[in-house]
Structures are given as structure tokens and as C-alpha cells.
């Protein structure tokens, strides 16, 4: 009889999968901008130095990150007040509109800087959408995962993020094979944004059919005073917010260095062709996708901190050797091996960061509490990583960027060493009652 009161494992699995599908499309739309920047960088800005054009495009990419704290606050507050399902549905709506805006934006020759303005507006909308999406999906996937399997369940957030990135690379490689470089530069780059806009509409329909999490539904019944999702509540948990910021700092810089900037680095600094660089990233990201649930499952057994420390040590000590070796031995095989090594290290962060952050906050403020410090860290550090790298390269001191990544990782490593373990945290009122009951029995 008691077994009938608990959801079956298959129920948790279906909830995780349904929550991950929408996340995939959201992040496809977010990353496809970076994947195709090499082709449309010259479309929205005056002709000139290709590196300068890429820097302008990277600056717009970074502006999207600056909008993420706003999205984290607004959409995070909505998800804490009206439910994870409502917040996730709203975020994918904003993403669909932004993808469509990029797809129809006129180039510089047609309308001057109007296209760049539309690109900027669309990127801000994407930032708002992703700012709310990350925290809402982190809360949703952690809350619907079976206790004792949260690391594995929540790892599918970054699995779905990476699959979205892989889909963007697949579209890139297909278009590279069927269109000439001139066609891709002239109009072919618009195709992935049209695909993203349509796919987001499909996700809108799917998310309206999602079930709300038990933890949120229980909190809604008990919290009649509308304190959920307020900044005052976040301030009450400011230590947890500070931990989210610090542990995100190094992880965000490393993730965007090795998953978005590295494609440009392989082309501009290492000397690989655009198609070879895309293939290297595709194969390495496939491995990365497999490693994420493994890292999440390991954290369920030994704790979140050891997995995070593995990332912190590997990135702090390994970034300079990996990046310099790529230039020293500029071949497809070496690039693939070193990229796979780098992403194996990054998997230590990406596999567990969602559940760690969610486990630091109570249900009433879990989404906005994660969203704001995470989005701020990504806006200041993760989103600017590519621009910082290109600026160092333009100044002729590209290797300074490698030390910058290591320094950011070191800050997070110190945080991982000093922070408390979160694996046994109770996420709902029912789990807290169960934990208190076990303590009283013992």
C-alpha cells in the first residue's frame, strides 16, 4: 500500500525527459547564434577587418548575457509565484519571437544599422528568455527527479543544452555541405533561425501539457502570504546566492570557452578549416553529452563537491597546456583529442551544477534565487569570455586569455573546497518531514 503513494521511477523519467525537450530547443536557439557568427558577422556591420566584425558580433552575443539577470529576476519570480510550468512556457514564447526577428533582420547594405539594431533587440530577448529558462529548468528537473537520483536527473539539463548545441552544429554541417560559402554568407545563415522559431512553437504546445512539480504544488498550498520569488526572500538566502555566483564564475567561463569560442579559435588561431572545426566540436560534444549523466550519477554516490573539484583542478592547471598545444600541433586529430580532454574536464561542472544550485535554496525562492546570481556571473564572466579572448588576440597577447580562464576556475575551485555538501538536502516540505521523522526514530 505504501508503494502506491510514491510515484514510480518511470514517472520521474518521463517528467525529466519532457522537461529536457523544451530546454534543447531553447538552447539550440541560443547557441546557433555563435555557430553561424562566422557567416553573418559581415552582414550587419561595415566591411573591414574580419576580427573587428567578429568582435562586434561577439559584443552583441555578450549583450544577451547582460539581459540574463533581468530575465532571471522577471521569469524566475514568475516561476516561483505561478509555477515552473508557466515560467518555462513563457520563456520559450519569448525565444521563438527572438529567433524569428534574427531570421528576418535586413543586412547592412539593405538597411544600414537597422539590421544590427534588430539583432541586438533579438539577442536581448534571447537573454531574457534563457535567464529565466536556466533556473526554471534547473528547479523543475531537480524537483521531479527521484531522491537519491537528483544528480543524474538534473544532469539532463546540460544534456539537453548540449543536444541543442549539437543540433545547431548538425544544421551548420548540413548547410556547409549543400550550400557554397557565398550562399551561406548571403542568406543561408538565416535558415537555422527559422528552424528555431518553428521548433519553439512546438515546444510551447508541449510545455502547456507538462505537470507541475510536487514540491512547488505543496509550497503553493502552504504559502498563502505571497512571499514566493521576492527579492526580499533572495536576500534572506544571500549566502546561498553568493555561492551560486562564485561556483558559476569559473564554470561559465570554461563552458563558453570550450563550447562556443573554441570553434573560432580552431579556425582563426590554429588554422583549421571551418568545416573541420565544426566536425571537431560535433564529435567532442557527442562525448560530452555521454559524460554528463555519468558525472551526475557519480555525484549521487560520492557527493557534488568531489565532481566539482575535479573540474576546478583540471581547468586551473590544464587550460594553458591544452590551448597552446592546439597551436603547436595544428591537425584535426590533435584538435579532436585535446577538445575531448577539455570537455571531459568541463563535464565535472556541467553535470552537477544545476542540482547543486537548486539544492541550496528552499522551494519558495528556488528559481529566482538561482536565476539572479547565476545570470550575473554569466553576464560578467561567461558571456564576455569570447569577447575577452578576441580582444587579447587583437592585441597580440592571446595567451593572456588562457591565464584568465585558469584564474576564474581557481576562484570557483576555492568555492568548491569550502562550500557545504548539498547531496542530502531536502527539497520539499514532505522531504523535510521525512528527514525529521528519521531523526526522531534514530
SS (H, E, C) the chain: CHHHHCCCHHHHHHHHHHHHHHHHHHHHHHHHHHHCHHHHCCCCCCCCCHHHHHHHHHHHHHHHHHCHHHHHHHHHHHHHHHCHHHHHHHHHHHHHHHHHHHHHCCCHHHHCCHHHHHHHHHHHHHHHHHHHHHHHHHHHHHHHCCCCCHHHHHHHHHHHHHHHHHHHHHHHHHHHHHCCHHHHHHCHHHHHHHHHHHHHHHHHHHHCCCCCCHHHHHHHHHCCCCCCCCHHHHHHCHHHHHHHHHHHHHHHHHHHHHHHHHHHHHHHHHCCCHHHHHHHHHHHHHHHHHHHHHHHHHHHHHCHHHHHHHHHHHHHHHHHHHHHHHHHCCCHHHHHHHHHHHHHHHHHHHCCHHHHHHHCCCHHHHHHHHHHHHHHHHHHHHCCHHHHHHHHHHCCCCHHHHHHHHHHHHHHHHHHHHCCCCCCCCCCHHHHHHHHHHHHHC
Distances in Å between the Cα of 44 and the Cα atoms of 108, 115, 117 are: 5, 6, 9
- pLDDT at position 1, please? 35
- pLDDT at position 45, please? 66
Closest CA to 165 of 1, 358, 33, 297: 33
Closest CA to 96 of 29, 180, 169, 32: 29
Q: Which residues, other chains included, contact 289 with Cβ-Cβ below 8 Å and sequence gap of 6+?
A: 159, 162, 163, 166
Q: Please, are residues 22 and 88 in contact by the beta-carbon 8 Å criterion?
A: yes
How far is it, in rounded angstroms, from Cα 255 to Cα 354?
14
Closest CA to 43 of 93, 108, 100: 108
- pLDDT at position 222, please? 64
- pLDDT at position 292, please? 93
How far is it, in rounded angstroms, from Cα 65 to Cα 381?
9
The full set of domains in the chain, from first to last, is: 10-213+236-425 (1.20.1250.20)
Closest CA to 193 of 272, 103, 125: 103
User: pLDDT tens track of the chain, all 442 residues?
Assistant: 334 444 455 555 666 766 677 778 878 887 787 778 777 777 776 666 566 666 666 677 667 777 888 888 888 788 777 777 788 788 888 888 888 888 888 876 777 678 778 888 888 888 888 888 877 877 777 777 777 788 888 888 888 888 888 888 888 888 888 988 888 888 888 899 899 888 888 887 777 777 766 666 666 666 654 556 567 777 888 898 999 999 999 999 999 899 888 988 999 888 888 888 888 988 998 999 999 999 999 999 999 999 999 999 999 999 999 999 999 998 899 999 999 999 999 999 999 988 888 888 887 788 888 888 988 898 889 878 888 998 898 888 989 999 999 999 999 999 999 998 887 766 655 555 554 455 444 4
Amino acid at each position: 500500500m505504501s508503494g502506491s503513494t510514491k510515484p514510480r521511477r518511470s514517472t520521474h523519467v518521463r517528467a525529466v525527459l519532457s522537461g529536457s525537450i523544451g530546454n534543447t530547443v531553447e538552447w539550440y536557439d541560443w547557441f546557433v547564434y555563435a555557430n553561424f557568427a562566422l557567416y553573418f558577422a559581415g552582414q550587419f556591420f561595415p566591411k573591414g577587418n574580419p576580427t573587428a566584425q567578429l568582435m562586434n558580433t561577439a559584443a552583441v552575443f555578450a549583450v544577451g548575457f547582460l539581459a540574463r539577470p533581468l530575465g532571471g529576476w522577471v521569469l524566475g519570480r514568475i516561476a516561483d509565484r505561478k509555477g515552473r510550468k508557466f515560467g518555462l512556457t513563457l520563456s520559450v514564447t519569448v525565444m521563438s519571437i527572438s529567433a524569428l526577428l534574427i531570421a528576418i533582420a535586413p543586412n547592412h547594405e539593405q538597411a544600414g544599422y537597422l539590421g544590427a539594431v534588430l539583432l541586438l533587440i533579438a539577442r536581448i530577448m534571447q537573454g531574457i528568455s534563457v535567464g529565466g529558462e536556466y533556473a526554471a529548468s534547473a528547479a523543475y528537473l531537480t524537483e521531479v527527479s527521484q531522491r537519491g537520483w537528483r544528480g543524474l536527473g538534473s544532469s539532463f539539463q546540460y544534456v539537453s543544452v548540449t543536444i541543442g548545441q549539437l543540433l545547431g552544429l548538425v544544421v551548420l554541417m548540413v548547410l556547409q555541405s549543400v550550400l557554397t560559402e557565398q550562399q551561406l554568407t548571403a542568406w543561408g545563415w538565416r535558415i537555422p533561425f527559422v528552424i528555431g522559431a518553428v521548433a519553439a512553437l512546438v515546444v510551447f504546445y508541449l510545455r502547456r501539457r507538462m505537470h507541475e512539480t510536487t514540491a512547488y504544488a505543496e509550497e503553493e498550498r502552504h504559502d498563502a502570504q505571497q512571499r514566493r520569488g521576492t527579492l526580499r526572500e533572495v536576500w534572506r538566502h544571500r549566502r546561498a546566492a553568493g555561492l551560486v555566483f562564485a561556483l558559476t564564475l569559473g564554470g561559465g567561463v570554461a563552458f563558453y570557452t570550450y563550447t562556443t569560442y573554441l570553434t573560432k579559435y580552431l579556425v582563426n588561431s590554429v588554422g583549421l578549416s571551418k568545416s573541420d572545426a565544426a566536425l571537431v566540436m560535433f564529435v567532442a560534444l557527442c562525448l560530452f553529452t555521454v559524460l554528463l549523466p555519468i558525472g551526475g550519477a557519480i555525484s549521487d554516490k560520492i557527493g557534488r563537491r568531489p565532481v566539482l573539484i575535479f573540474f576546478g583542478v583540471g581547468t586551473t592547471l590544464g587550460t594553458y597546456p591544452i590551448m597552446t598545444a592546439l597551436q603547436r600541433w595544428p591537425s584535426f586529430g590533435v584538435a579532436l583529442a585535446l577538445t575531448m580532454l577539455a570537455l571531459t574536464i568541463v563535464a565535472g561542472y556541467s553535470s552537477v551544477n544545476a542540482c547543486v544550485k537548486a539544492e541550496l535554496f528552499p522551494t519558495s525562492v528556488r528559481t529566482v534565487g538561482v536565476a539572479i546570481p547565476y545570470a550575473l556571473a554569466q553576464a560578467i564572466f561567461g558571456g564576455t569570455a569570447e569577447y575577452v579572448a578576441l580582444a587579447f588576440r587583437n592585441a597580440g597577447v592571446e595567451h593572456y586569455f588562457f591565464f584568465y580562464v585558469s584564474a576564474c576556475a581557481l576562484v570557483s575551485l576555492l568555492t568548491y573546497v569550502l562550500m557545504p555538501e548539498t547531496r542530502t538536502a531536502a527539497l520539499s516540505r514532505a522531504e523535510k518531514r521525512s528527514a525529521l521523522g528519521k531523526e526522531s526514530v534514530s
